[in-house]
Chains A and B, each alone.
Chain A
């Protein structure tokens, strides 16, 4: 069965420091991976997807099939990056979106 693991519940960094939110997945097929973000009191929204290979708000994520990872990175954290981040995997031909348990990112001044 598919599974998404986010080992850190809380990650606290100082403004300007690099950020890496870890995500590992288990799936025997070809995965479609996403990062969703939930700012305080707002709904979840898509941050980026691996197939697009784009940078959103300075964040990037590279799919590493060998390590089955999709870590989210940003070189310089900003205060507005403070939020809950969820890694997600689509499987089953697209009918099942599985989320990790989420990582709360706190950027301190």
Chain B
């Protein structure tokens, strides 16, 4: 089954403790991206990647890092999480430009 898988689904952590949210897709898609979803703000793009070793900032990249060492994986790294990063995070992948985006099930992160 074609899918995008994120882990963990839920995470509560403390300020400053480094964490990684993993994202994996099994569709051999070149394009992957991360979004955060906040009430009243919709989905905002954090980072995206057009292929292996090619990443770029989205609209709200501050406080986040990503890497794309393999085509299927695109982890989101928070080196020093802060409470304003409490949000619902979605990973997405696309097979080629201007096609359908497939989303993961979301990761609800709470930073206290």
Point out residues on A near B: beta carbons under 8 Å: 6, 9, 32, 34, 36, 42-46, 49, 51, 86, 88, 90, 93-102
Contacts and interface: CB of A to CB of B under 8 A. Distances in A.
Contact of B43 (A34, A45, A93, A99): A99
B100 A97 contact: no
A45 B56 CA distance: 24
- State the majority secondary structure of interface residues on B: strand
A93 B100 CA distance: 14
A42 B50 CA distance: 26
B70 to A, nearest CB: 19
Nearest to B106: A43
A94 B97 contact: yes
B94 to A, nearest CB: 8
10 contacts: A36-B101, A43-B106, A46-B100, A46-B101, A93-B97, A94-B96, A94-B97, A98-B45, A99-B35, A99-B44
